[in-house]
Structure 1
Amino acid sequence: MGGSATIGGGGGGGGERDLRLDFFRGLALWFIFIDHIPANQFAWVTPRNFGISDATEMFVFISGYTASLVYAKVLAERGFALAAVRVLHRCWTLYVTYIVLFTAFTAQVAYTARVFDNPLFAEEMGIAAYFADPAAALTQALVLKFRPANLDVLPLYILLLLCFPLMLPALRRQPLVVLAVSTALYVAARRLDWNLPTYPAGGVWYFNPFAWQFLFVLGGALQQAPGIAALLAARRWWMVVVAAVVLLLSLYLALSWQFAFIGALTPQWVSELIYPLSKTDLDPLRVTHFLAMVYLIVLLVPRNAGWLARPVLRPVILCGRQSLQVFCASILLSFAGQTILVQFDASLFSQFSVTVMGISGMVLLARLLSWYQSADRPPRAAAPVLRDSGT
């Protein structure tokens, strides 16, 4: 889906394309792929090892921003009915894609576990319940309650986008009011432990939609309130200092999880105050770290940054534009990489090779899709030539 504006596309709007959205979404896809390969030392390059938020926050925020960019334009030009239908059509596309991905991934894990006689694959990837009761598991998968490991972000996006038509008119007229309601829902969900159940019984959604909707709505609200966004992104020295301090403290916390001697330096009262840093319920410290990172990125990477158009970054941007298909491919490629490391060779060279080949496969898919879409478009008609009639 060339020119996709969200994780599942949605069509592009008019005007010059903001390459930052494609670049950082593509970068998030690469990071997600790397992080999904256990014991991969090259995961040290991803944000989760240098702060307390990761690529997921980036992905959800950009998805909310671009959904607002695309569908608010349709609402303004064509009315609510068409905007709602287009959102629901995109939801259907995402849903069908998810079911296909679920089937392919389950088959991949089941086949691998059987070939290598390693039932731990099925347990680690969360499909053991499928073998216990395939009919029930498939039924629960259809209602997004049964999900193998690493597939959680797509159901989250489906649900958020499904609710998007309800908030779109208000988001266009009163974005700050919608953001206030979203904030209240976020706070209530955390205080009252709201979440949705999963299958098998007893589980909850790994990405709590009542909490994660906040980042999605925040992205949409900032897109619809450019004045507020510009005010927040203004270069004020004290805001730069605060954001830098937040990133440094987050770096310290992230390193303390990896190195015991750093963790020992953390006072006990600080640990009791901040832990646990729940990813499921989108801990406020994760949000704080992410917003500090976004603020500095906006300052350092303006919309017209020339380096974004350099050929060396083209692979990342292409992956960002073909985000749905690339995400699905990354799920299958990451498990294939995990299989190679577990069953054959877990050396550093193998980790490097698996990482490079997986990202290369994602880029190749993005290139093929972009080529196909550009070839499938009808050529533009040549502008008529005005001739002097001699009159």
Structure 2
Amino acid sequence: MRVCANLPASGRDVRLDLFRGLANWAIFLDHIPHEVLNSITTRNYGFSDAADLFVFISGYTAALVFGRIMIERGYVAAASRLLRRASELYAAYIIVVVIYIAVIAWVSQQLHDPDDLNQFNIGVFMSRPLWQAVQALALRYTPVNLDVLPLYILLLGTFAPALWLMVRKPTLILICSMAVYFVARHFGWNLAASPSGSWYFNPFAWQFLFFLGAWIALDGSHAIQSIIRSTAAFWLAIAYIVFALIVTTAIRAPELGSLIPHWILQLFDPNDKTNLAPCRVVHLIALAVAVTRFLRLDSPVLQWRALAPLIRCGRHSLQVFCTGIVLSFCAHAVIELSLNSLWAQVFAGAAGILLMTAVAYFWTWPKWTIGRAGRGGRSILQPRRPAIVAGLKPID
């Protein structure tokens, strides 16, 4: 079978970095209980939230980067890079689990507050550390707020065998992914988690969002370009976004809920996040249609200095995400110590975002290596250049 993927031109789409950075900030704020700043995140104004956006962009980016590597250098090169990236994510996950557990256990001991151990699913680990350590290595045990990283690891790992066919028959892979999504929702498929229960992000359902992003990167953007650019599609997307805003607001505010027929609210409450309710997928697609209409690739808005921190966080999303996970608990502890005072909520949220941004900027500093200078053999410091594959800048 010949390659039929229609990849965009080489170069970095800054919009991906922007929205991935925005997703990281929102995930950090959403993970802090009793945090006033998380009232501005997208989960309060529609069916989808930062997790949906993160998985969708991850699928798009994976197909864009590794699909081009496969076309130019072959499947073995692309698959090996994919698996290496998955192993890096796995190593980062294990490290952050260890740090996260240690921080929560230490803070809980110092504050004499054992409730946090149960609230963040650490008490289970403390009762059987060796067994749960093995379960963590198998991605079966996950502390609270870390669920999206095992999902990403699994999706990236399973993307390697699908990539060969994805660049040849992207629509076929999308149809198969959609079939798995609906069958899993119908029969209740999910992976088991330790000590009991199942994955918070059902991978059989969430893989559809990942492969939808991959399909758009490889073929979908060309296949549906005329539909996306049509006035009817745009206004239909706007109408659905407004409808989602009204329903979500009504569900969160009972005094407004009485203004909407009860049977309508029942369709969307609860908003099934574990099994990725269809309304979440449609909402994310509607947002993508609206955003791409207003924010084009060459938009001068992307050059605004005010957006530079978000873009930088998106370029180093793994480091920023892992930092945000630990900082979210630290912010929670500060807010609890202040008895949920407003100033502490604002300070903890703002300080966490500043620290995450500092980590992103730190990762862009030149990495220096020891080199040899000319004939004298004198040791000097030389900047190490990042590897560029197939004309692409490295993506973290």
Q: State the TM-score, normalized to the length of structure 2.
A: 0.89
Which residue in the other structure is 2:126 paired with?
A: 131
CA drift at 1:16 = 2.8
Q: CA RMSD in A?
A: 1.7
Which residue in the other structure is 2:248 paired with?
A: 254
Quick one: percent identity of the two aligned structures? 39
Mapped to 1, the partners of 2:284 and 2:386 lie a distance apart of: 42
Q: 2:295 aligns with which of 301, 317, 341?
A: 301
Alignment of structure 1 residues 1-391 onto 2, 5 Å: 15-201=10-196, 203-225=197-219, 226-234=221-229, 236-373=230-367, 376-378=383-385
Q: 3-state SS of the aligned residue for 2:365?
A: helix
Which residue in the other structure is 1:385 paired with?
A: none
- Give the partner amino acid of 1:337: A
Which residue in the other structure is 1:10 paired with?
A: none
- Give the partner amino acid of 1:109: I
Mapped to 1, the partners of 2:64 and 2:321 lie a distance apart of: 21
- Give the partner amino acid of 2:163: L
Mapped to 2, the partners of 1:260 and 1:292 lie a distance apart of: 26
CA drift at 1:233 = 2.3
Mapped to 2, the partners of 1:376 and 1:318 lie a distance apart of: 20
CA drift at 1:239 = 1.4
**CA shift digits 1:317-368 (9 cap, x unpaired):** 0100000000000001111000000023522221111111100001111111
8 Å contact 1:51–1:250 — kept in the other structure?
A: yes
Mapped to 1, the partners of 2:96 and 2:385 lie a distance apart of: 31
- Give structure 1 stretches of 5+ with no counterpart: 1-12, 381-391
**CA shift digits 1:358-388 (9 cap, x unpaired):** 00001111111011359843499xxxxxxxx
Mapped to 1, the partners of 2:129 and 2:162 lie a distance apart of: 37
- Give the partner amino acid of 2:357: V
Q: 3-state SS of the aligned residue for 1:199?
A: coil
CA drift at 1:252 = 1.2
Q: 1:227 to 1:14 in 2, by over 3 A?
A: closer
- Give the partner amino acid of 1:267: P
CA drift at 1:170 = 1.2
- Give the partner amino acid of 2:384: R
Q: State the TM-score, normalized to the length of structure 1.
A: 0.90
- Give the partner amino acid of 1:133: R
Mapped to 1, the partners of 2:100 and 2:46 lie a distance apart of: 30
Q: 3-state SS of the aligned residue for 1:99?
A: helix
For these two proteins, the number of residue pairs brought into alignment is: 366
Q: 3-state SS of the aligned residue for 1:38?
A: coil
Worse overlay, 80-89 or 251-260: 251-260
Mapped to 1, the partners of 2:93 and 2:84 lie a distance apart of: 14
Mapped to 2, the partners of 1:124 and 1:240 lie a distance apart of: 42
Mapped to 2, the partners of 1:14 and 1:116 lie a distance apart of: 54
8 Å contact 1:244–1:292 — kept in the other structure?
A: yes
CA drift at 1:269 = 2.4
8 Å contact 1:223–1:229 — kept in the other structure?
A: no
Q: 1:354 to 1:273 in 2, by over 3 A?
A: closer
8 Å contact 2:167–2:218 — kept in the other structure?
A: yes
Q: 1:263 to 1:222 in 2, by over 3 A?
A: same
Q: 3-state SS of the aligned residue for 2:233?
A: helix
CA drift at 1:192 = 0.6
Mapped to 2, the partners of 1:345 and 1:368 lie a distance apart of: 33
- Give structure 2 stretches of 5+ with no counterpart: 1-7, 369-381, 388-396
- Give the partner amino acid of 2:165: A
Q: 1:378 to 1:193 in 2, by over 3 A?
A: closer
Worse overlay, 21-30 or 238-247: 238-247
